[in-house]
Amino acid sequence: MKLDPKRAALLVLDVQNDLVPETAGIRQYRTLDHIAAVLRAARRRKLAVIHVTASVRRDFRDIPSGSPLWIGLRRKKQLILGTRGGAIHPKAKPLPRELVVNKTCVNPFLTTSLGQALHNADVNTVIIAGLWTNYVVEATARHAADVGYRTYVVREACASNDIFNHEFAMNRILPTICYVVGVREVLSALE
């Protein structure tokens, strides 16, 4: 794993209270512990750490209205701005100096200042961790790789709404787009 800590950023995606209980295998595979370990290592090495959330207005007017993806969100009244469910989970809690950007679609490069923040920090490498693998993790990896970032996805620091979706993305899709790496490899690179 090649990275210059001065030019790398850790992106922690959608690790929010409403999504945690709906994430398959999150406790069994200790996903939150792995995310926390990568966060600690990134902070020790002073990487840029950017948290991305997916929170919406109570009336849901700020998300795509014609997309089946968002139907469940509306029905369950989840990921509402300013609620406990929309808040970042305590194991991934941002430090005051860390940037938090909120998106209203799957790809955080589209409805946030993420691209500008990475540019401002002179980043050329992104490390991705978060929920859900086949949604935001994959969308972020695709976009980051397309615009030229060296992109790493941390296998054990990601999970999805379904184990099959997670495994399919990790084993079949993401390796064709970016580098899929283990937590140990990331921690070793950040020592």
Residue ranges per structural domain of the chain? 5-189
What's the confidence (pLDDT) of residue 66? 78
User: Average pLDDT, stretch 92-108?
Assistant: 96
Model pLDDT for residues 104-160, shown as the tens digit of each residue? 999 999 999 999 999 999 999 999 999 999 999 999 999 999 999 999 999 999 999
Q: What is the pLDDT of residue 82?
A: 95
Question: Considering the entire predicted model, what is its pTM?
Answer: 0.96
Average pLDDT estimate for 42-50: 98
The overall average pLDDT reported for the chain is 96
What confidence score (pLDDT) does residue 69 get?
80
Residue 12: pLDDT band with limits 50, 70, 90: very high
Q: Kindly tell me if the per-residue pLDDT of 72 is higher than 90.
A: no
Strand partners of residue 80: 56
Q: Which pLDDT score is estimated for 63?
A: 84
Separation in Å, CA 119 to CA 25, 109, 116, 178, 190 = 35, 12, 5, 19, 21
Mean pLDDT for the stretch of residues 86-114: 97
**pLDDT given for residue 2 in this prediction:** 85
Name the nearest CA neighbour of 135 among 118, 99, 160: 160
Does residue 64 or residue 19 have the better pLDDT? 19
Report, at the CATH architecture level, how domain 5-189 is classified. 3-Layer(aba) Sandwich (3.40)
